[in-house]
Amino acid sequence: MIILGSTNRVLLLGFIFASFASCGPSPQAGGGIGGTGSVATVATGPVTKFGSVFVSGTEYDNTNTLYCIDHEPCSRENRLKIGMVVLVNGTRSEEYTSDQTLIRIADKITYEESVEGVVQSVAADGLSLVVLGQLVSVNQKTEIDPSLQGATPHTLNTTTVPRTVVEVSGFVTGDGTILATLILQETGTPHYEIEGFVKHHNVANRTFEIGSLVVDYSPADISQMPSPTSRVWDGMVVFIQGDQWSQGGPGPYGARLTATRVKPQGLGVTDIRDAEVEDFITQVVGPGDFFVNNVHVQTTPFTTYEGGTANDLVIGAHVEVDGSLVNDILQATHILFENETELESNVATIDTSAKTLTLVGFSGVIIAVDGRTAIDGEGNALRLEDLQAGDHLKIHGRHGAGGTMLATEIERVAPTSNVKLEGLLTSVSDPLWVIAGVTIDTTAIPDSGFKGREGVAIGRSAFFAGLSIGQKVAIQGNMSGMMVQWSSASHDD
């Protein structure tokens, strides 16, 4: 993937956001000293729940929302689906004295696909497909149209899906790669649309590439793009509409598309006090200075982290960033790592030569350590060799295949009997669930130990009724020797 230098990217983003500014809300509105007021907000992320609209887990009142879906005329009809990655413009009502949010209101929700076209191929395991030269992956959080569903949940039917027309919403994770949050089957006249990184821009031929797709933009509306004589197109994330496609092109999934419109992706505003962005890190300029999609993000000494640390701000990390947009740069106040797993327990075994360890209560999970793992804590622990069986650890990491987890941070803390596991739910059937490859039996947890939003006890039935695959959940308990007694479970939705 071709990426611009940081100076050119910042200058380019100034153009991108300025071109959208007329569509966005004003930076702040209303309010009085000592009372309540409202500030303009912008957010982007997947729809995660209804009963109002939840985007990246944040609730928005949609009583009077205007929906702009897939370039059709905007209307008050809510045609959103779980998994659609949307852009929300609205307001946040707050109490001035405490800055506490009272309610978030969605004024307008805009949706565009990540890719739409004919399925060129489907992987034998049903976990990926190719559309318009893009490799689209699915995971445990991907919502799949029942007509496309494979024999097992969250897989594709390898027999019927090829050559169908699909609409995919998700995240661009790299050059020619997309992680799907939603896959739908399309009927009627096909539309061809794609989001991705520009590379190999040929000004003379009026072409560029995205993944294995060659785009001919000679007949397209490019009025929102920089001048086609500019070399800054390479590295941009753009959205393309087209009317013709064919097989053939560079790479193993070659395809060609004739574009009718090309525009840069962006939040649509340049300065706004309240912004929330969920996406993948696509470029790192320097420590605490990175891009998610086309959004430039910078951290400050006051930025807080959840599920990871500043060391985890690397290309490919899935993050949710909250902050204020100032001069086209999102100043991060809080960063949540979406794909992080958190473990807390005593060391059961440790192998310094293999650079692995296991924890009490999680014997099935092998925790690996590499050169990027940050180790610190009690007793000046700096290396894996400084740890030993019986040490009490808090570990952040990324779950991998075969019951492995790569630790991104290990902290040795004071001895305690506490045990904790927090991560994404991959399987659930009351009383069992699976997180990070660990099967947990919740039978011993009392009814009062099942908690929902803000730690309110909701009981076992309501708790399990509210669970879904891909949801972030936590379970806590206490050690007795090498055994764990689970005492409480919680989720935020």
Is this model's pTM higher than 0.85 or not? Answer: no
Interacting residues of 367 by C-beta distance below 8 A, sequence separation 6+:
343, 356, 357, 358, 359, 395, 397, 404, 405, 406, 407
pLDDT for position 139: 78
Residue 423 pLDDT > 60: yes
Query: Using one digit for the tens of pLDDT, what is the confidence trace for 403-413?
Result: 678 888 899 99
pLDDT for position 223: 95
Beta carbons of 340 and 314 less than 8 angstroms apart: no
Residue 14 buriedness (CB in 10 A; 0-12 / 13-18 / 19+): middle
Average pLDDT over residues 284-308: 91
For the chain, the 3-state helix, strand and coil shares in percent, each to the nearest 5, are 10, 50, 40
All structural domains of the chain, each given as residue ranges with its CATH number in brackets, are: 25-111 (no CATH), 114-265 (no CATH), 272-337 (2.40.50.140), 340-416 (2.40.50.320), 422-491 (no CATH)
Q: What is the mean pLDDT of the chain?
A: 86
Write a three-state SS string for 149-173. Answer: ECCCCCCECCCCCCCCEEEEEEEEE
Beta carbons of 305 and 338 less than 8 angstroms apart: no
Rg of the chain over all Cα atoms, to the nearest angstrom = 24
pLDDT for position 96: 63
Strand pairing report for 255-264 and 213-216: parallel
Question: Rounded to whole angstroms, how far apart are CA atoms 322 and 64?
Answer: 25
| 140, containing H or E segment | none
pLDDT for position 97: 67
How does residue 337 score in pLDDT terms, banded at 50, 70 and 90? confident
Question: Rounded to whole angstroms, how far apart are CA atoms 460 and 449?
Answer: 8
Query: Using one digit for the tens of pLDDT, what is the confidence trace for 155-171?
Result: 899 999 999 999 999 99
pLDDT for position 142: 87
